[in-house]
Structure 1
Amino acid sequence: MTKKNSILLTLVLLLLLALIFFFLPLKQAFIFTEYRTEQPRLFYLPLGDEYGFQIRYVHSIHLSDVIETYEATEEGIIRLLSMQYEDVGIGLPGHAEEGEKLSVKDGLYTLTYDDKVIDSFTMIVGDVDADLAFRYAGNELDLKKQLERGKSYTFAVVKLSIYEMMKGDCLNGKR
């Protein structure tokens, strides 16, 4: 093999490794994928050292805050930990089901889950003036400002490649 051929082979291998690295899912992130469209749009927030997060919203009927607490796992599973609310009925349970515990203290209901896990869930960003926020690592993102009102999003925890991050919209402005 000539020196020119070995240099060419080395360059081809380096290019191949760079391409693999570019498309290989490496960075775990929270993702919101708009799915009721011909061109799905990806919004993401990179996961740091913390795995716990919350979704806070104003209930459309009761007009009071509901705080759902979750934990992401390294495998991309979402573990439901608890839900806190002030009113019961219309989506807010007044009793616990199997694998759940309900406590009431100072008028605040706390529903905790023993071991409830999901891969993803659908979130509808309503076109009403009521809060919808994502809390993570001491920050609260206003999802009504970050995502489009009236659209549905699939929420999941996945590993993204550099390519997917470049195509998507980072919710904290950093990549």
Structure 2
Amino acid sequence: MQKKWLFILLTIALMISMLFIPFRTALVFYDGKTNNQQAFLILDSGDYFGITFTHSIHLTDVVEKYHITDDNKIIQYEMIYEEFGIGMPNDAMADEEFEYIDGKYHIKNMTNEFDYLNIRNGKKVSNHRLSWGNSDERTDVHTVPFNDYFIPGNWYKLEVKQISLFEQLKGVNIHE
């Protein structure tokens, strides 16, 4: 009889601990003011994601492309835009490549490494989009508007981290 209760107790303890042990890699969005988790997107190391926004002055799209490293860092590897001006680079740095392709400026081979990103969801020009896929070829790309998940005008901290089942239950799962 005692073995049965011990087995039940161990099973319950194991199930509860599994609820709180981080096991999934995700891009997690935290409210910039409260640091409360708002949403998450399940990704793996090596996966790619992009953030596209409409520049508030030029009113043209700016695409920032990122990939996730094995140690949960975010690497910006490319930027694409149509207009020079406020906030837009006019040349490449170090080993980067600056190209003009089909009416758009591309800065490639970027190696900007981040522990996290701070992103404001536009208020006046609120047209941010999040895209993701398994390869840089982007043949399997999913895209969602920020406004489907986030309040226009608010800012968010994006971080890649391991999350538990409990953390998954706390936030909104971003999906297509």
Shorter-chain-normalised TM-score: which range?
Answer: 0.7 to 0.9
- Superposition RMSD in Å: 2.0
Q: Is the 8 A contact 1:65 1:85 kept in 2?
A: yes
Deviations 1:45-68 (A, max 9, x none): 112697011111111111111111
> Is 1:171 matched up with 2:174?
yes
The structure that has the greater radius of gyration is 1
Q: Which runs of 4+ in 1 moved over 4 A?
A: none
Q: Is the 8 A contact 1:35 1:41 kept in 2?
A: no
Question: Residues 82 and 63 (structure 1 numbering): CA distance in 2 closer, same or farther, change over 3 Å?
Answer: same
SS in 2 for 1:19: helix
Aligned pairs for 1:2-81 (under 5 A) are 4-37=1-34, 40-47=36-43, 51-81=47-77
State the aligned residue count.
169
TM-score (ref. length: structure 1) = 0.87
Q: Is the 8 A contact 1:126 1:149 kept in 2?
A: yes
Q: Is the 8 A contact 2:44 2:68 kept in 1?
A: no
Tell me what 2:136 maps to: none
* Structure 1 unaligned regions, length at least 5: none
Select the residue among 130, 144, 148 that pairs with 1:145.
148
Question: Residues 169 and 106 (structure 1 numbering): CA distance in 2 closer, same or farther, change over 3 Å?
Answer: closer
SS in 1 for 2:90: coil
Q: CA separation in 2, counterparts of 1:72 and 1:124?
A: 21
SS in 2 for 1:70: strand
Q: Is the 8 A contact 1:79 1:116 kept in 2?
A: yes
